[in-house]
Amino acid sequence: MKRINRIIESLLFAADGPISLKRLAQIVPDADDDQIRESIEELNNHYQDHAFGIVRIAGGFQLVTRSEYHEHIQKMYAARTRPRLSQAALEALSVIAYKQPVSRIEIEAVRGVNSDGVLGTLLERGVIEIRGRAETVGRPLLYGTTEEFLKYFGLNNQSDLPSMEEIEAMLREREEERQEEEVTDRPEPPSEDAT
Amino acid sequence: MAYRIKLENFEGPLDLLLFLIKKNEVDIYDIPIAPITRQYLEYVQLMQVLDLDFASEFILMAATLIRIKAQMLLPKPQIAEEMEEIDPRQELMARLLEYRKYKEIAHELGRRESKHRLYHPRTIAEADYFDDETGLEFGQVTLYDLLSAFNEVFRRFENQPVHQVITPRVSVDEQIKFIKAFVKDRDQISFSQLLQQVHLKTRAAVIGTLIALLELIRSKSILVKQSGPFSEIWIFNPSASN
């Protein structure tokens, strides 16, 4: 294996989170971005027979195990597996991700329900942070998503999420499909001349 | 035998409304208010009967639905004829459409969460390594981190009894008054007797009393006599001995 590949491998192995391309280029001697990308591809080919591989996440690269071994790893870490986020938490997080920086009042206006508790959960899980205060009446706290948010959902960056236009288009399509079905489902009126 | 009713868990009134719209296969842009309101109220009643964790927001929405229904029943005022007619359902519809988008995104995030939690990165004990350049990564510490750290420390001390040591203060003025009051009805009294009457058996109280005594001697309010070195000091009330 090429020495540069081994260097990158050692960095990814020892890293405590995703490492950016820029950071790798700083550390690996005499390597430009393209060479690093090439090395990562070669390493991934090399890992084909292994239980792990390199993924792109939160704007960097990280060595992770393949999904098929989740079951076993979960058994090993049974006591420390964090519970999944609740539906309420996911809803609030969606509003924050697309409207940030956003206040609690705005989140509650969309959800139609008190969101105090879920904001606490999201802060504790580190997927959102306080970004400051709005210069409006009452100076409410403003919330935004964090790098941990990207890591948690396996996103490389915010644009990995569908855009609002895409969501709207998808919902419209679904609505149209439903209406079409409704029309075709309607039984034929019985013909009176049939007899 | 107890009956168990499985009821969908709704995140709020908008969630419940979207469910009813879907269940009835009606058009979100043309909601039949009467049947939807009726079903909504049935659900809310059921939730109350089952004593589910019940949010007041559900009641507020019930009121909104009934108001819309009433508005639609009322004859439209004549003047409004020429103006563009405003559907009373408009505002609710806009809210439902907005909410539906975020519900969809939440669904998408949920999908990604399920998928991504299957991948495990290597974990390193955090304290073992520091970023050489910056030492600590300050950028990643948020106000909330600080608050939770503070909270943690605070909690640690919460159940410990707090002892506060209050130093009893003995003022010279107080002791002057005390000595005067004590000597007033007596011809004479020994210094050790006087000290036994001092309320606080602290060094400060004894010193305070002594200073008070000296002050009284200086102002000639009392007289003191001693038969020899280290023997008992006697205190006299000059007015009484007169």
Position A162 in a domain: yes
Nearest in space to B110 (alpha carbons), one of A154, A101, A100: A154
Q: What is the mean pLDDT of residues B29-57?
A: 82
Cβ pair A65:B95 closer than 8 A? no
The answer as to whether A188 is a domain residue is: no
Cβ under 8 Å to B: A residues 94-153: 94-95, 97-98, 110-114, 123-124, 129-130, 146-147, 152-153
List the single residue in B with minimal CA-CA distance to A122. Answer: B144
**Residue B138 reports pLDDT greater than 90:** no
Q: Are residues A97 and A176 in the same domain?
A: yes
- Please give the interface size between A and B, counted as residue pairs whose CB atoms are below 8 Å apart: 124
Interval A151-172 mean pLDDT: 89
State whether A161 and B113 contact (CB < 8 Å): no
Chain A residues near residue B103 by CB distance under 8 angstroms: 91, 94
CATH label of the domain that carries residue A59: 1.10.10.10
A191 domain-assigned: no
Residue of B133, B141, B144, B147 to mutate for A, most A C-beta atoms under 10 A: B144
DSSP A89: H
By Cβ distance, the residue of B11, B114, B120 closest to A64 is B120
Q: Do B119 and A124 touch (CB under 8 A)?
A: no
- Rounded CA-CA distance B32/B69 in Å is 9
pLDDT by residue (tens digit) across B4-36? 455 567 888 999 999 999 888 888 888 899 999
pLDDT at position B135 over 60: no
Q: What is the DSSP string of B106-145?
A: HHHHHHHHHHHTT--B----GGG--BTTTBS-GGG--HHH
Q: Which residue has the tokens 């410990």?
A: B160
Mean pLDDT to the nearest integer, B177-201: 80
Prior bond to B77 cis, omega within 30? no
Domain boundary, last residue among A18, A44, A70: A70
Q: Does any domain span residue A178?
A: yes
**What domains lie within chain B, and their CATH numbers?**
13-74+88-103 (no CATH), 172-241 (1.10.10.580)
Percent of chain B at pLDDT above 90? 17
Q: Answer yes or no: do A90 and A65 share one domain.
A: no
| Domain annotation covers residue A194 | no
CA gap A94, B113 in Å, rounded: 13
A155 part of a folded domain: yes
Considering only the beta carbons, identify the residue of A13, A114, A147 that sits closest to B122.
A13
Other Cβ atoms within 10 Å of B209 Cβ, number: 23
Whether pLDDT at B188 is above 90? no
Whether A28 and A57 share a structural domain: yes
User: For residues B1 and A25, which has the higher predicted lDDT (pLDDT)?
Assistant: A25
Does the beta-carbon distance from B119 to A55 stay under 8 Å? yes
Does position B185 have pLDDT exceeding 70, yes or no? yes
Tracing tokens 């393949």 back to the chain, one arrives at A66
- Count of domains in chain A? 2
Q: Is B26 on the interface with A (CB under 8 A)?
A: no
Same domain? A65 vs A133: no
pLDDT at B81: 57
Q: Same domain, yes or no, for A46 and A98?
A: no
Q: Does the distance separating the beta carbons of A129 and B144 come in below 8 Å?
A: yes
Domain membership of residue A78 (yes or no) is no
- Considering the domain architecture, whether residues A117 and A177 belong to the same structural domain is answered as yes
Cβ atoms B7, B52 nearer than 8 A: yes
Domain's final residue, options A70, A104, A129: A70
Residues 6+ apart with CB under 8 A from A114: A108, B55, B57
Residues A28 and A59 in one domain: yes
Q: How confident is the model at residue B2 (pLDDT cuts 50, 70, 90)?
A: very low
Q: Is the pLDDT of residue A140 over 90?
A: yes
Q: Do B11 and A91 touch (CB under 8 A)?
A: yes
What pLDDT score does A194 carry?
A: 44
Instruction: Dump the DSSP string for A93-135.
Output: HHHHHHH-SEEHHHHHHHHTS--HHHHHHHHHTTSEEEEEE-S
Overall average pLDDT of the B213-221 stretch = 86
Triad B68, B71, B74: Cα angle to 5°: 155
* Tokens, residue A52: 């792990």
pLDDT digits (tens, 9 = 90+) for B86-97: 788 888 999 999
Predicted local distance difference test score (pLDDT) of residue A14:
86
pLDDT tens digit string along A96-122?
999 999 999 999 999 998 899 999 999
Of the residues A70, A94, A129, the one at which a domain ends: A70
Lowest mean pLDDT among A141-150, B10-19, B31-40, B156-165: B156-165
Q: A27 in a domain, yes or no? A: yes
Q: Are A103 and A141 in contact (CB under 8 A)?
A: yes
pLDDT confidence of residue B28? 87
HEC string of A2-37?
CHHHHHHHHHHHHCCCCECHHHHHHHCCCCCHHHHH
Do residues A87 and A176 both lie within one domain?
yes
Checking if the pLDDT of B84 tops 70, the result is no
Residues A17, A38 within the same domain: yes
Please identify which residue in the block is written with the tokens 């996103």.
A155
In B5-60 the beta strands, taken as DSSP E runs, fall at none
| Residues A161 and A110 occupy one common structural domain | yes
If you average pLDDT over residues B165-182, what whole number do you get? 81
Q: Which domain holds residue A15?
A: 3-70
Mean pLDDT, range A77-100, rounded to an integer: 88
Query: CB under 8 Å to B182, separation ≥6 — which residues?
Result: B189, B194, B197
| Average pLDDT of span B168-184 | 82
Is residue A127's pLDDT more than 90?
Answer: yes
The answer to whether residue B134 scores a pLDDT higher than 60 is no
pLDDT confidence of residue B74: 81
Residues A62 and A113 in one domain: no
pLDDT at A94: 96
* Cross-chain residue pair A66–B28, CB shorter than 8 Å: no
* Claim to verify: residue A95 and residue A49 sit in the same structural domain: no
User: What share of chain B in percent tops pLDDT 70?
Assistant: 80
| CA A182 – CA B29 distance, rounded (Å) | 15
pLDDT for the residue numbered B37: 92
Chain A positions touching B108 (Cβ under 8 A) are 161-162
Nearest to A90 among B25, B106, B122 (CB): B106
Q: Is A54 helix (H, G, I), strand (E, B) or coil?
A: strand
Please report, for residues A98, A171, B63, B164, the alpha-carbon distance to residue B92 in angstroms, rounded to integers and kept in the order given.
21, 18, 12, 59
* A window 13-32, beta carbon within 8 A of B: 13-17
Which among B64, B119, B130 is the top mutation candidate for probing chain A, defined by the most A β-carbons within 10 Å of its own β-carbon? Answer: B119
**Average confidence score pLDDT of chain B:** 79
Query: What's the pLDDT score for residue B128?
Result: 43
